[in-house]
Structures are given as structure tokens and as C-alpha cells.
Amino acid sequence: MRRVALVGAGVSKFGVRKATYRDLVWEAGKACFDSVPGVKPKDLDGLVVGSVMPERTAFQSHISSMVAEALGIRPSALSARTEHMCASGTVGIRYAYAFIAAGLADLVMVLGVEKLNQPVADEAVLNMGTGVDREWEAAFGLTAPPCFAFAAQRHMAEYGTTEEQLAMVGVKNHTHAAKNPSAHFTKGATLDQVLGSRMIASPLRLFMCSPITDGAAAVVLASETRARALTDTPVWIRGTGQALDGFQLSSLHEDYAHWPALKRAAQAAYQMAAVGPHEIDLAEVHDCFSIAELIAYEELGFCHKGEAGPFVAEGRSDYGGDVVVNPRGGLIGCGHPLGATGVAQAAEVFVQLRGEAGARQVPAAALALTHNNSGMGEHVVMIYGKEPA
Amino acid sequence: MTYFRALDPFPLESADHTTLHEFYTRLGAGTLTTTKCRGCGRSAWPPRGFCAECGAAAFDWVDLASEGTVHAFTVQETGLPAGFEAPRVFAIVKVDGHRVFTVLTGAEPAALRVGQRVRLAPLRVADDPKGNPRWLPAFEVV
Ligand SMILES: [Zn+2]
């Protein structure tokens, strides 16, 4: 297999945007092309678009061709859309990676985009129900919060994890987002604010949850030859893993605080990269809800099972700790425009490993991990390095 | 208003629309059932037309117990989809070894606990576009 690197990355402003789906594509595309002056739209031989529900939110399918035309890309080797709910972006990166590693493409853009907010706010929540099983789950009014609430309830009962520890994830990620001008929320949050915010699904309160956000992000992946010609500071893909336990709540691990698929995805990625969890300098993990970040610490091997509460409370997942988790502000601080999230995680890793992250730079960052999930039983992990091996 | 499938949150349960229609007919009559594979004899939840264990596509309907125990629950207070009232108690109920996702109706949230006994309480929802009744497998505290 050939080596593959990120050579460009850009994100749109995340938030409740006065913009169309296509406006967001243009904004992220422009930012990405600006980051790599040697690449023009027609130089790309491939495009993958991660996007979950434009059929409902923009009344638009046929997404890859629409985005290719919007950006002036003429794919000659790869054109595809990936839909894997909240993990669509990283699943798209894996497609592009595999095509380039196999020699089937040389220079591919992966763009993630979602326009979730609607003129009538309720419609956005209604649409989120498409992410769980319609017949056996969504018909009852289920969306994501109760699923992760089951995990939080169980983690608290089994390990003594506290509401304060759940809230500390919200405080940390809102604080990080305050240094990220692209984030949905840029004002930070205190422990009192998080604990005083309204209850969504017990024990998860508003500031422990990612909001409904519009946004887009794009990265360019290149073969080693093309990467070295385009930049002195490519960011290398070192490892990747994906694993699924199940789709419906009825088929996941009986103990909702245990996510074996994440452990398997991480092990595959670590093994491929030939690194271990304690070598990771920064991690962009899928904090759709604060409990997800806590369980991710454990399944990714940053701490032992059950120790995630003290891990965040002691600052071990913040600047100066063992590993800086979610320096861009995570999904809680940046918002979660589904298909864009995994690509935005990669874009953050790109600037961090090049030392270009400004106020939120992780000192001496050399090795980074991203974790994207599409439910408690479906996980994707990527490992990136400043060096190719 | 014209019926649009894309705005209907409920399954189409009649024989015109699903091979699992018998589940809903029996549910409307007050019985919780599921499929049992004719190939390997395993029963599954939820009902399914293809066995994940042996690959057979033939099945019989079997009755499940009308009572179960709460395996997990949460109370959603805000952020529910349009048409669903808060507070709403979502739960996983263990019935005959299966984990059944459901809502608990008429429950007092503060009094709920894991392990509590609950019983089937079929929930009638909006009729389908032809006026057929539709049901969901909800539970209530015993
Ligand atoms: Zn079978």
C-alpha cells in the first residue's frame, strides 16, 4: 500500500447559519483550497462527500455530483457520497485513503456538509429521528439523547461517575471552543452554567450535549509523491480502524457503558500505526454527549475502565495533562453538523500537527487520533502523524 | 392534508405494507409476540424476516411474556421531536431474555428504578392513511 497524507484542510463557520447547503460547500471548499495553493479544483482526481440528510434538509440528493460542480472538481478516479450518520465524514476519509493507498487515485478531496437548521426549529429535531431505527425506535420519539443517557446512567451506577464529572467535559470543551473562531459556541462555560442548564434526558443537560449546527469541512488527501511535491509539512495517515457492534439498542452490549466496538476500532488503528494510546498527544473524540467522551477515554485506552470521571476531573484530558482531548472544542463546543464533524476533526489534526493551531496549539504535537461514532455501537478511529512512520 | 410518508413517524403496519403485519395485529389484541426461526429455532427481538444466526427466512410467531423488568431508563424533559409529549420515559425492558426498547406510559419518573416490574400496555397511535389503527409496544408500571 502507498502512503497517504493530508495536504490541505479548511472549515466553514459552524453555527445556525444564514446560508444554503451549497453556500456551506463553497465556504469550506474555499478555505481548504486556500490552505494548499498548489491544488486547484481541476487538479483533483477524486471527491467524496460525507453528508447525512440533505434529502430532508435541502430536498436534494445526487450530492457528490452537485458538490463537484459547485467547486469545479472533475473527478476522473473517484466520486462518491458517504452516509453513515454522525460518522459519515470519517467514513469518507477512509474511502479516499483506501483509493489512494491502492493506487486508484492520487489527489482526493473529502468534504463533509450538513444544513440541519430549518425555518421551523422543530423540523430539525424531527429529522434527527432518521438516525435510529424507524420501526422499532424512532416511532416512539427516540433521537440520540436518551440512548447516551442510558450509557450515562449505567456509568454512574457502575463506577460512581458524578454529574459534576459529566459537566466537566462540557466546561472543558466549551472553554476550548472559545479559542476557535469557527466554533458554534465561543463564550466558554462554567461548571455552574453546565450544571444549571436545562435537562434534556436525565442525567444529560443542555451544555453536556452537542447542538444542532450547520457547517462544512474539507480536507485534501494525496499520495506520497503528490504530497511531497505540494507541501513540506504533510500530515500522514498512520492507522485506521472501524468496527460495529450493532444498530438497535436491543443488539448493543447489554451494559450500555461498555462500547466494545470502539475498543476494537482503536486496537486496529493502533496496531496499524504501531503506536499505543499513551503516545497520542491530542485526540479529537466524538463528544456528541459528555458521557461519550468519558467512555471514549476508557475504550481508547487513555485510562482504565471506570476511571474516566477522575481522569477529566484531574485535568488529564486537558492542556498540560496526558492527552489534550478536543482542542477545537469538540462537538459540544463546535456543534455537530453530522457529515462535517469527522472531516472537521481531521482538519483540526491537520493544523495541530503542522503547528498552525494558534491559541489552541497543543505543544510539540506529533501524533493525533480522531474518533467518530454513529451510535454507541459503531465507531471509526484514525491515527495521524507528523512523520510518515 | 395529503398524506406524506416522509412526515409520518410511525410504521405502516398493515398487510399492504409489511410482511410482519401479524405482529401488529396481535399487539392490537393485547399480546406481545416475536419471530422464531424455523431453521435454528432461535427467537429474536425485534421480529425479523431473515435469521441473523442461520440465514433462514421462514419463521413462526411466538408469544412473549406480558411482563418484564426495567433494564435501563431515562426521562427526556426537552428536545423531543414534534408530536411527542414531554416528559417522556424511554426504557429498555427485559422480556423473556430479550431487550425491548419502549416507552413507559403513566409512570411517575421520580419513583422509577432499574429492576422494576412492568407490563405490556399497547399504545394506540395515529391511524394509517387508510384509517387502519396502529399500535406500538409500550409498557406501564405494574
Ligand atoms: Zn435461524
ipTM for the complex shown? 0.98
What is the CATH topology of the domain spanning B66-142?
A: OB fold (Dihydrolipoamide Acetyltransferase, E2P) (2.40.50)
Residues A229 and A244 both lie in one domain: no
Residues A40, A112, single domain; the answer is yes
Cβ contacts of B97 on chain A, cutoff 8 Å: none
Q: Which among A216, A213, A183 is positioned nearest to A12, based on CA atoms?
A: A216
Are B9 and A146 in contact (CB < 8 Å)? no
Domain containing residue A303: 135-209+239-385
* HEC letters along B39-100: CCCCECCCCCCCCCCCCCCCEEEEECCCEEEEEEEEEECCCCCCCCCCCEEEEEEEECCEEE
Quick one: average pLDDT of A187-204? 98
Tell whether A125 is covered by a domain. Answer: no
- pLDDT tens per residue across span A111-129: 999 999 999 999 999 999 9
In this prediction, residue A201 has a pLDDT band, given cuts at 50, 70 and 90, of: very high
Chain A residues whose C-beta sits inside 8 Å of any chain B C-beta? 56, 122-123, 125-126, 128-129, 134-143, 145-146, 149-150, 153-154, 157, 198-202, 206, 248-250, 254, 256
What are the C-alpha distances in Å from A112 to residues A5, A61, A219, A237, B7?
18, 14, 9, 18, 26
What is the domain count for chain A? 2
Residue with the three cell numbers 461514532 = A373
C-alpha cell at B92: 429498555
Q: Is residue A110 part of a domain?
A: yes
A186, with CB counted inside 10 A (0-12, 13-18, 19+), is: middle
Is residue A93 in a domain? yes
Inside any domain, residue A127: no
Instruction: Answer whether B101 sits within 8 Å of A125, measured CB to CB.
Output: no
By C-alpha distance, the chain B residue nearest A212 is B79
pLDDT at B1 over 80: no
Do A203 and A148 lie in one domain? The reply is: yes
Which member of A56, A149, A250 has the closest CB to residue B101?
A250
Which amino acids of A are annotated catalytic?
Answer: 86, 336
The answer as to whether A126 is a domain residue is no
Q: What is the pLDDT of residue A102?
A: 98
pLDDT at B107: 87
Q: What is the pLDDT of residues B3-56, one digit of tens each?
A: 999 999 999 999 999 999 999 999 999 999 999 999 999 999 999 999 999 999
Question: Is the residue at A128 inside a domain?
Answer: no
For residue B104, the surrounding DSSP H or E stretch is strand B98-105
* Chain B residues touching residue A122 (CB < 8 angstroms): 81-82
The per-residue pLDDT of chain A, averaged, comes to 98
Rounded to an integer, the average pLDDT of A165-192 is 98
Q: Do B77 and A199 count as a contact with CB atoms less than 8 A apart? A: yes
Instruction: Give yes or no: residues A162 and A189 share one domain.
Output: yes
Q: Per-domain residue ranges for chain B?
A: 16-64, 66-142
Q: Is the pLDDT of residue B133 over 90?
A: yes
Mean pLDDT over A173-185 rounds to: 98
- Residue B89 banded pLDDT, cuts 50, 70, 90: very high
User: What residues pair up with A113 in beta bridges, in sequence order?
Assistant: A216
Residue pair A271/A239 in contact by the 8 Å Cβ criterion: yes
Mean pLDDT, chain B, integer: 97
Instruction: Specify whether A53 is located in the same domain as A190.
Output: no
A124 within some domain: no
pLDDT at A153: 98
**Contact (CB<8Å) A140/B114:** no
Instruction: With 0.95 as the threshold, say if the pTM is over it.
Output: yes
Q: A68 in a domain, yes or no? A: yes
User: Do A192 and A80 fall within a single domain?
Assistant: no
| Whether B45 and A250 lie within 8 Å, measured CB to CB | yes
> In chain A, whose CA is at the least distance from the CA of B84?
A141
Question: Of A200, A235, A270, which marks where a domain is finished?
Answer: A235
Report the distance separating Cα A215 and Cα A89, nearest Å. Answer: 12
Mean pLDDT of B89-105: 98
Last residue of one domain, picked from the residues A175, A201, A235: A235
What CATH number did the domain enclosing A362 receive?
A: 3.40.47.10
Does residue A32 share a domain with residue A145? Answer: no
Cα-Cα-Cα-Cα dihedral sign, residues A233, A239, A242, A243: negative
Same domain for A198 and A218, yes or no, is no
Rounded Cα distance, B44 and B62, in Å? 10
